[in-house]
Amino acid sequence: MSTNSNFKLTYSTMFNPPEVMHTRFSDAVTQVKAHLGREHAMIINGKDVFAAEKFEDRTPIDTSVVLGVFQKGIPADAAAALAAARKAWPGWKNTPWQKRVEYIRKAADLMDQRIYEIGAVMSMEVGKNRMESLGDVAETADLFRYPCEQMEEHDGYVVKMKADPLVGLTSTNLSVLRPYGVWLVISPFNFPGALTGGPTAAALVAGNTVVFKPATDTPWVPRLIAECLRDAGVPDGVFNYVTGPGSTLGQALIDSPGVDGVTFTGSLDVGMRIFRDFAQGRYVRPAILELGGKNPAIVSKHANLDDAVLGIMRSAFGLQGQKCSACSRVFVEESVYDALAERLVALTEEIKIGDPLERDVYMGPVVNKGAYQDFQDYCREAQEAGAKFLTGGKVLTEGAYAKGYFCTPTILADLPESHRLWKHEMFEPIIAIAPVKDLQEAMHRANDVDYGLTAGFYGTPEEVEWFFDKIEAGVTYANRPQGVTTGAWPGYQPFGGWKGSGASGKNSGGVYYLPLYMHEQIRTLVAKPGA
């Protein structure tokens, strides 16, 4: 999304936006607040569908405020959505890919037009600050456009192969990528735009139809994305939006033989359970999984400490640490450890915590009561293990914080090397830092986890090359003050992980992602000369 010819909003540029963006965001907040508490339907076969039971979507900023009322879908709704997607699939797959691209680009344009409304809702629903919310929406639009560009660049993924060396006959061999059928997309709470849009757009451009289920904490933003698709003219049944508990509605979708492929973003435990359940079908079906991280930063004694401190702070405490890409472990060569720790604490204590709708607030609340309690439990566990709290470790409960889930950004030192919190994904505004005798020790500890999503480094050009070669992660950054482990963007830094962080080995928003939503068919035609 661009506000003028000189500024494009990304996670790297969002720290110095034009003033007009703040003005328009504030106006959108006023407009959205005038319509809180309304009921929102599911969308199945292009129609609004209501369930017998409902659930309230409350803001973590002030839990007395009901953002909207949503449908508690049941397995029958899952079956209806899958049936609609199956019925729509023949027409959608036979729609020329150029026309499918046209639909998806129109939806992206609508997101650009509605970015401030969607961003305001996201800030209220997730607790993201205003620039991160706008960034999420802008990224969603770009994630819609990127597979369109890839489809065009590869001319629909039809490739002429070598001809068989036949005598007296001619042979034509074509490699054609074709859609699977009905695709299930399950998104998490933290990026309800981008992690809805990325897999949905890829699946649709490829010619699949989609059934989509958002996280129960954040159903409103995905509903607005669904409306962009509907308003763009995407035919009925091609995209279906259902809401409800993962344990019932979500499980019914996973268990259905009517699903031909699934994309899930969330925790390793839930992802592995989905992977195993999905494997119980009659045959192997593709499962694209992005499953969290325990992302390290390594700081060399030769590093620019100002850049390192800024990048670590932004990646550790942006969105309250509730990113699978958040920096949660920092390994620093001994000679610069004290200096870095001192600067990091000072910068962290400058963070303003509060209502993320306000322009000068960097940290809003964590997403729900469970996350709020987890923060307290992790802090207690670290304290009992003898860790030193350089800053933070508290929840805020007075005044404007009284009805929300506000936690302080927390830096732990002296956490025993054997402690489980060095390897456990917390999804909280908590980082642990430790001195290391050399970079080899840092790399060993950085790689000694089940995850391999993102990683960052600060040091010399020679050290950077060593880091890129040795680190076990799918997205890597060096000497980046905008964020040491965060800030991927489609077409710039495709996002995906290794080991327990991902299942496909191909990163979303990159050149290898779209083909995951298609399987290959080889077409051989043999003919006699002149026939």
Same fold, 2-291+506-522 and 295-487: no
Check residue 14 and give its pLDDT: 87
Give residue 4's pLDDT band: very low, low, confident or very high (50, 70, 90): low
Per-residue model confidence as pLDDT tens digits over 338-366: 999 999 999 999 999 999 999 999 999 99
- pLDDT surpassing 80 at residue 6: no
DSSP state of 502: B
- pLDDT surpassing 80 at residue 412: yes
The three-point CA angle 518-268-229 to 5° equals 45
Specify the CATH superfamily of domain 2-291+506-522. Answer: Aldehyde Dehydrogenase; Chain A, domain 1 (3.40.605.10)
Contact 504, 288 (CB under 8 A): yes
Distances, alpha carbon 290 to alpha carbons 137, 270, 325, 390, 501, in Å? 20, 11, 11, 32, 6
- Write phi, then psi, for 97 (nearest 5 degrees): -60, -30
Q: How far apart are CA 11 and CA 489, in angstroms?
A: 7
Residue 220 CB contacts under 8 Å (≥ 6 apart), including other chains: 40, 57, 67, 68, 70, 121, 125
Check residue 35 and give its pLDDT: 93
Residue 290 catalytic?
Answer: yes
- Residue linked to tokens 């933070």: 392
User: Is 167 exposed, middle or buried, given 0-12, 13-18 or 19+ CB atoms closer than 10 A?
Assistant: exposed
pLDDT-above-90 percentage for the chain? 96
Per-residue model confidence as pLDDT tens digits over 304-321: 999 999 999 999 999 999
- DSSP three-state, residue 42: strand
Residue 425 catalytic?
Answer: no
- pLDDT surpassing 90 at residue 265: yes
Give residue 1's pLDDT band: very low, low, confident or very high (50, 70, 90): low
CATH architecture of 295-487: 3-Layer(aba) Sandwich (3.40)
H helices of 209-304, where?
Answer: 220-231, 251-255, 268-278
Per-residue model confidence as pLDDT tens digits over 142-201: 999 999 999 999 999 999 999 999 999 999 999 999 999 999 999 999 999 999 999 999
Q: How far apart are CA 275 and CA 288, in angstroms?
A: 9
Catalytic residue among 117, 139, 290, 428: 290
Catalytic residue among 228, 324, 327, 379: 324
The mean pLDDT value of the chain amounts to 97
Q: How far apart are CA 84 and CA 78, in angstroms?
A: 10
pTM: 0.96
Domain residue extents for the chain: 2-291+506-522, 295-487
The answer to which of 9-18, 94-103, 373-382, 458-467 has the lowest mean pLDDT is 9-18
Rg (CA), the chain: 24
Contact 451, 424 (CB under 8 A): no
CA 461 to chain CA mean position, Å: 30
